[in-house]
């Protein structure tokens, strides 16, 4: 997360205006729009070895594709694999790789997977990775089918943490995605709303599970900034950069970053207002493991 901004500015809540020369630092805008979702997981073996697993879900005219990369703590790539889920490819299978002293096995079944507008499947699928017969990552809802495929011979309690998600979304006024801000917490619906064409004075609205948590008026003057909200008891800093919507190409993209902060002392000490939203459970799910979560949304405007 070195490229992401720090959790809180000097004032806790700060909105940059158009005259500010030092706008909020956000990931660079992507000039090549593509329907993709990139997820990064921090995974740990029972031997205390740690790995970073990156999954990239993409969608094109031929179907959905999945690319996997496994890196060790030194950021050296141990394994790469691409799975194509179109009609002409194998949509379920097992892949074994020997990388040094590590035996890596990847299991997947996307043959019945259901998708929404995102290239990431919603349900009826499984995807899992084992290293030396230890399950370190498991995705999907077909747990029984996965255990049967593994012959119940693998430890079924993966120690994995979802640390970041990057997604490209497309729309005219509405841009929707989902995020899970803590490991075992609720999956929240996030809706970014802004009419940059039909309104003379556009307003940026962000809703979590239908509840309005952020509103930015005079957006053309405040096209970059940050604001703090609470989700599931966690302070989440929201950064936005919508410059391209107003001053860029016809099909420009804005960038939004939602980043949890593990330490809120500076926030509470600042005396600044904070918008709060907890899901139906309302329980605090702060991360004691020292890893936060970041969601980056590239919002592409379709005309």
Residues 6+ apart with CB under 8 A from 77: 69, 70, 71
pLDDT of residue 85: 65
- The more confident residue out of 276 and 176 is 176
- Let me know: does 71 contact 51? Beta carbons within 8 Å: yes
E-strand ranges in the chain read: 36-44, 50-60, 63-71, 77-84, 92-99, 102-109, 114-115, 121-123, 126-131, 134-140, 159-171, 174-179, 188-193, 204-208, 211-216, 224-231, 234-241, 253-260, 275-277, 294-301
Average of per-residue pLDDT values in the chain: 78
Is the predicted pLDDT of residue 2 greater than 60, yes or no? no
Phi, psi at 292, each rounded to 5° = -95, -170
Segment 183-198 shows an average pLDDT of 86
**Mind listing the pLDDT tens digit for each residue in 153-183?**
665 678 888 999 999 999 989 999 999 887 7
**Mind listing the pLDDT tens digit for each residue in 201-225?**
899 999 999 999 999 999 989 999 9
- Let me know: does 190 contact 210? Beta carbons within 8 Å: no
CA distance 175 to 297: 9
Is the predicted pLDDT of residue 139 greater than 80, yes or no? yes
Closest CA to 136 of 49, 38, 56: 49
- Let me know: does 193 contact 210? Beta carbons within 8 Å: no
pLDDT of residue 252: 75
**Mind listing the pLDDT tens digit for each residue in 52-73?**
999 999 988 777 889 999 988 7
pLDDT of residue 212: 95
Is the predicted pLDDT of residue 266 greater than 50, yes or no? no
Whole-angstrom distance between the N-terminal and C-terminal Cα of the chain? Answer: 33
Separation of CA 40 from chain center: 8
Closest CA to 24 of 260, 203, 257, 193: 257
Residues 6+ apart with CB under 8 A from 161: 41, 42, 43, 183, 287, 289, 291
**Mind listing the pLDDT tens digit for each residue in 88-112?**
466 888 988 887 788 889 999 988 8
């Amino acid at each position: 997360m070195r490229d992401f901004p720090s959790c809180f500015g000097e004032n806790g809540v700060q909105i940059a205006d158009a005259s500010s020369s030092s706008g909020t630092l956000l990931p660079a805008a992507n000039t090549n729009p593509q329907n993709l979702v990139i997820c990064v997981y921090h995974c740990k073996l029972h031997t205390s070895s740690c790995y970073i697993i990156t999954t990239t879900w993409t969608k094109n005219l031929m179907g959905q594709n999945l690319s996997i990369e496994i890196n060790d703590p030194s950021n050296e790539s141990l394994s790469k694999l691409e799975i194509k889920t179109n009609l002409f490819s194998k949509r379920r299978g097992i892949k074994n790789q020997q990388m040094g002293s590590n035996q890596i096995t990847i299991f997947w079944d996307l043959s019945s997977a259901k998708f929404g507008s995102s290239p990431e499947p919603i349900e009826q699928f499984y995807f899992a990775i084992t290293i030396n017969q230890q399950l370190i990552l498991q995705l999907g809802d077909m747990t029984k089918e996965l255990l049967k495929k593994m012959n119940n011979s693998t430890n079924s309690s993966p120690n994995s943490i979802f640390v970041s998600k990057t997604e490209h979304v497309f729309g005219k006024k509405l841009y929707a995605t989902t995020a899970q801000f803590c490991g075992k917490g609720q999956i929240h619906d996030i809706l970014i709303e802004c009419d940059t064409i039909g309104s003379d004075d556009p307003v940026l609205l962000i809703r979590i599970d239908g509840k309005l948590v952020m509103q930015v008026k005079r957006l053309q003057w405040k096209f970059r900034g940050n604001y703090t909200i609470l989700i599931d008891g966690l302070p989440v800093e929201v950064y936005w950069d919508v410059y391209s919507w107003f001053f860029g190409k016809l099909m420009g993209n804005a960038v939004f970053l939602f980043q949890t902060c593990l330490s809120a002392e500076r926030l509470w000490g600042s005396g600044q207002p904070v918008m709060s939203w907890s899901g139906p459970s309302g329980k605090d799910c702060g991360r004691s493991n020292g890893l936060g979560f970041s969601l980056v949304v590239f919002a592409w405007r379709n005309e």
